[in-house]
Structure formats: C-alpha cells, structure tokens
Structure 1
C-alpha cells in the first residue's frame, strides 16, 4: 500500500514537472511569426534560418566568431557607448542575465556596437570597466559597420521586418534583445528596456538549457 502511494505520488510530481516545461517557438522570418515544433525531423526540415558566420573583436581585443558560440545558447543586442537614451538602460537590464549566467559555459551574451567607427576596442574596454562588467561570457563587439548591420538585420532580424530591407546607410537603433539556441536558431525576442522582459528571458534560457539536455539524453 505504501509502495503504491509512493508510485502514485512520483507520477503526479513527474507529470507536474513535465507540464511546467515551457516550449519555445522558432522564428524563421523577420516578422517573428512563431512556429511551434517538437519533432526533430520537422524542425530540421522546416526551420531553415540560422545566425550567419561572423568575426569581430571584443573589448579584450579577442577575435570572436561563430565558433565561440558553437553549441551555446546566446543572447544578442545592439548598442553604442555614446547613446544617452535606451542603451544604458538595456546594458543595465542585461546585467540581470549576466548575473544569472556569468559562470555558465553554455550561455554567452553578444552586445554589438552599432557605431563601430567610434566604439573601438579601447572605447569598449573603458565602457565595460565603467559599467563594472567583468564576465568572460559577455562580449562587446566591434568591427566593420556593414558586416554588423547586415548580421543584425539579415540574421538576427534586429528591427523585425521594418529593418530587413534597409542597408548599412540606415542607422540601426533597436531595443530588441534576441535569444538564439545552441543550433543558432532564433527562439525569442524581448524588449531590453523592460526589466520584466529580461526576467522572462532568463527563464527562457533555462527552458532552452532543459531542451538541450533533453535532446542529448533523450
């Protein structure tokens, strides 16, 4: 009788945990239409968009490429150090993610400068020191303007469909924060000026980590 009760209790707890697992959508297009799939074959066949290859320098003068996020969940946003409006708020709110995942080798943060002709390595280093950012997983990136803008708009859909057709002569300024899974597929979009959104982002990162573990171990 006691064994049966324990078995029933375990089943209830297991079902409860499973029911609380969050399934994150995939995003294939710049209008961010959510696509919900949980079959690996369907995902491989239907989800064709992923973040393109890149190569930029971070605040430590280290070259950061797609190889550095291979197999990692990463978060991307677009800022510039001389911004006096939304960027300081976004950087401050991103610290919520940094504090939670600073020692987590499965998670990376990429903050791309949209004024790379101003934000060279030295400027980014000064900025991160002023912001007291010391995490090895948070990279502030600079490089060729057209490459950053193309990656932002064509890969990350940084300005949604409104920015998809713009070229590098149109200034990029967005509050969007993008969540990308370990296979470089977009899984979430958030408003970096809203603290509540960043807390939701932290939860969604945990959901992706659980999804990744489930895919590995079955």
Structure 2
C-alpha cells in the first residue's frame, strides 16, 4: 500500500516538474531599439513576428583578416563597441567580457565581436596590441575596424547599441555605449547587458547557455 502511494506521489511530482519545464519562458526577442521584449515559443509565430536581424557587414579584424557575417553563421555571438584609447568604461567592459569568454572557452560556437568606434585610430595593429594587452587568447573574439559610418550604422540600426535612441542620432555623433548585445544563431537580438557590471556577466553567461540549449 505504501509503495503504491509512493509511486503515485512520485508520478505527480515528475508530471508537475515536466509541466513546469514545458511552460518555462525562453529568452525574449527584440524588434525595436527601445528593447521591448517579445516572448514567443511557437516557431511559426517567431518567423511571422520577429523581423529584425543583424545586417551583413565586412570589416578587418586585429590580424588584418576580412571578417563578415559568416563568422557567426549558425553561431551565437556577443557584440560590444569600444575604442582603445578609452579611459572610462572600455577597460571595465573588456575585462568583463573576458570573464564571459574565459568561462565559455570550451564552446567553439560562441563568437565575440568588439567593434571600434574610433576606426580612424584603431587600425588592425593597434587592435592586435589591445587584445594582447588584455591577455585575450580566444580565437573567436574579433576586434573589428572599418569605415566609421558603416560601423555606426550597424551599431545603431542593427544592434540598437544605444537603446531607444538607436535611430535618432546622426552618424556623425560619437557612439559611446556600455551595452553588450546577445544575438542568436539566426542573427536575432535576444539580450542586452551593462558591460561595466560584473554581476550582469553572470546573467549573460547563463543566458548564452540557455540560448545554446534552446537552439539544439
């Protein structure tokens, strides 16, 4: 009798847990620069409703290799915007993103992209020295440089790097943001994080793992 009761209770607990997992909320999607979250699980609804994706691009990395959107084809990536002469938020951002990179070093399908917002200064050799100075050895972390207008347009219109002012600033206005942007394998934005806060890096790592598991 006790065994039967135990089996019934155990079955109810397992059913409850599986039901809870089925109803778990995945990471949101973002279509607009004000980062209003959109929660969807149905594939048809996602395809119908989530229109915004990261645009194609082509920039040189720290090794003078031309890098384009194929670098993150079928891969999750994290993007941020820095400049090597920055003495305020960029050092903290780079150190914090290194925490994320080091934590996920065994995941070869995670890419990190750091775009320079002063590309007229940050040529490949400068970026290579910057990467080396921070002890970054991850081959999937690229520091990118190119035409200023192209980088700024990509930052504001594709990555929504300055949140709700993403479309309002002129390309000539200096771009300076602490945000890290998480993008899924289909080039859709799935998260935004304050790159100066180490605590948010823990959330970013968790979200990358969640996204990786969801996209299996």
Same fold (TM over 0.5): yes
Q: 1:124-170, CA deviations, whole angstroms, 9 ceiling, x for partnerless residues? A: 00111111101011111111111000000000000012132222210
Where does structure 2 lack aligned partners over 5 or more consecutive residues?
A: none
- Give, in angstroms, the shift of residue 7 of structure 1: 7.0
Task: Report whether the alignment pairs 1:212 with 2:215.
Answer: yes
Q: Pick from 131, 138, 146 the counterpart of residue 135 of structure 1.
A: 138
Contact 1:107 1:137 in 2 (8 A): yes
Contact 1:96 1:199 in 2 (8 A): no
- Give, in angstroms, the shift of residue 100 of structure 1: 1.6
Query: Structure 2 vs 1, CA of residues 58 and 20 (structure 1 numbering), >3 Å: closer, same or farther?
Result: farther
CA distance in 2, matches of 1:5, 1:59: 61
**Aligned residue for 1:197?**
200
Greater Rg by CA: 2
With structure 2 as the length reference, what TM-score do the two structures score?
0.91
Query: Structure 2 vs 1, CA of residues 132 and 159 (structure 1 numbering), >3 Å: closer, same or farther?
Result: same
Q: Pick from 73, 77, 86 the counterpart of residue 76 of structure 2.
A: 73
Q: 1:21-69, CA deviations, whole angstroms, 9 ceiling, x for partnerless residues? A: 5511000000100000000000000000000000111112221111110
**Aligned residue for 1:216?**
none
- Higher deviation after alignment, 156-165 or 176-185: 156-165
With structure 1 as the length reference, what TM-score do the two structures score?
0.91
User: How many aligned positions are there?
Assistant: 213
**Aligned residue for 2:96?**
93
Root mean square deviation, CA, Å: 2.1
Q: Pick from 31, 35, 46 the counterpart of residue 32 of structure 1.
A: 35
- Give, in angstroms, the shift of residue 10 of structure 1: 8.5
- Give, in angstroms, the shift of residue 17 of structure 1: 7.7
Query: Structure 2 vs 1, CA of residues 197 and 19 (structure 1 numbering), >3 Å: closer, same or farther?
Result: farther
- Higher deviation after alignment, 55-64 or 152-161: 55-64
- Give, in angstroms, the shift of residue 6 of structure 1: 11
CA distance in 2, matches of 1:56, 1:103: 26
**Aligned residue for 1:145?**
148
1:74 is paired with a residue of what secondary structure?
strand
